[in-house]
Amino acid sequence: MSSKKMAIIASKGTLDMAYPPFILASTAAALGYEVQVFFTFYGLQLLRKDLSTVMVSPLANPAMPMPVPMPVMVQMLPGMESMATMMMKQKIKKHGVASLQELRDLCLEAEVKFTACQMTVDLFEFDKSEFIDDVEYGGAATFIGFAGETDICLFV
């Protein structure tokens, strides 16, 4: 029996938006799906060996719950991003939500295939040595080749 398939495009590189692709990919793999994630544009940040630079910003993110209402003028002050990121990481820990690193490792362990967009690597002049080794590089046709055969296909 051939397994079901799922493809995800991960295009965002912030701490909050990094979760959906890794959660869905690891879970689908646990449910027996063959999964591929295509990382493009800012999503490539999620392939860095060091994920500590992945942050969340309250700026232009009005749906983000804040402990106290914060005017945009305050949100743009230096250090606000680091503070918001630190606070979210504390919440993540407190509520038993896995870290990004842990979820990514679980994806790889479950043989989720990661493909990085070569065009984005060239565009932003990324250094491939900063990315984890378990990545293949390809383009739109690579993604569509797999996506065309999937049961679930998502853009995050």
| Binding footprint of other proteins on the chain (CB under 8 A) | 23, 26-27, 30-32, 95-98, 103, 106
Nearer to other proteins, 84 or 103 (CB): 103
Instruction: Provide, rounded to whole angstroms, the least separation between the CB of residue 69 and other proteins.
Output: 27
Nearer to other proteins, 61 or 99 (CB): 99
Three-state secondary structure call for residue 97: coil
Instruction: Provide, rounded to whole angstroms, the least separation between the CB of residue 44 and other proteins.
Output: 23
Three-state secondary structure call for residue 13: coil
Instruction: Provide, rounded to whole angstroms, the least separation between the CB of residue 31 and other proteins.
Output: 5
Nearer to other proteins, 56 or 116 (CB): 56
CA distance 45 to 41: 8
Nearer to other proteins, 91 or 128 (CB): 91
Nearest CA among 92, 122, 74, 80 for reference residue 16: 92
Instruction: Provide, rounded to whole angstroms, the least separation between the CB of residue 132 and other proteins.
Output: 19
Query: CB-based contacts of 135: which residues, under 8 Å, 6+ apart?
Result: 39, 47, 114, 115, 116
CA distance 77 to 126: 28
